[in-house]
């Protein structure tokens, strides 16, 4: 998959900056999913790249922002999902990381539930779960 093929399918990522991040995630995607059928592999590569770019965009500082150590640290903080809440006398419980349902997926893909692209990719990976190794 090339950058132009990817952005033709997902035009919302056209002009993604920094471009080196786009190219790196495409490179990573192209190295994966070799045991999928050709059609599913292309879809998986597109979804993987879109997922990773979305995750990157969530923590990237806006262009032109003065980058202090505190701003960089805040941008890199993991977002936690709320798993339960209580209103009276306020109680909140956050998830503690990857669930056991993602145990068959490698640790670098444990965040797939964080984006719609990732959820679609996770569904595709599960179709191949018995016969695929995703490094």
- pLDDT tens sequence across 27-65: 999 998 888 899 999 999 999 999 999 989 887 766 665
Instruction: Enter the pTM of the model.
Output: 0.68
List the chain pLDDT tens, one digit each, 135 residues.
Answer: 999 999 999 999 998 988 999 999 999 999 988 888 999 999 999 999 999 999 898 877 666 656 555 655 555 455 556 567 777 777 777 665 544 444 444 566 778 888 899 999 999 988 877 654 555
The b-or-e profile of 62-84 (16+ CB within 10 A means b, else e) is: eeeeeeeeeeeeeeeeeeeeeee
């Amino acid at each position: 998959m090339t950058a132009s093929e990817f952005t033709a399918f997902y035009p919302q990522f056209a002009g993604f900056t920094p471009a080196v991040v786009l190219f790196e995630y495409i490179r990573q995607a192209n190295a994966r999913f070799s045991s999928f059928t050709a059609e599913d592999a292309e879809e998986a590569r597109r979804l993987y790249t879109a997922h990773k770019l979305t995750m990157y965009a969530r923590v990237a500082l806006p262009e032109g922002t003065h980058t202090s150590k505190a701003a960089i640290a805040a941008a890199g903080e993991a977002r936690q999902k709320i798993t339960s809440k209580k209103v009276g006398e306020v109680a909140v419980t956050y998830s503690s990381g990857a669930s056991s349902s993602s145990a068959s997926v490698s640790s670098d893909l444990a965040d797939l539930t964080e984006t719609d692209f990732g959820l679609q990719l996770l569904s595709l990976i599960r179709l191949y779960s018995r016969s695929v190794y995703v490094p």
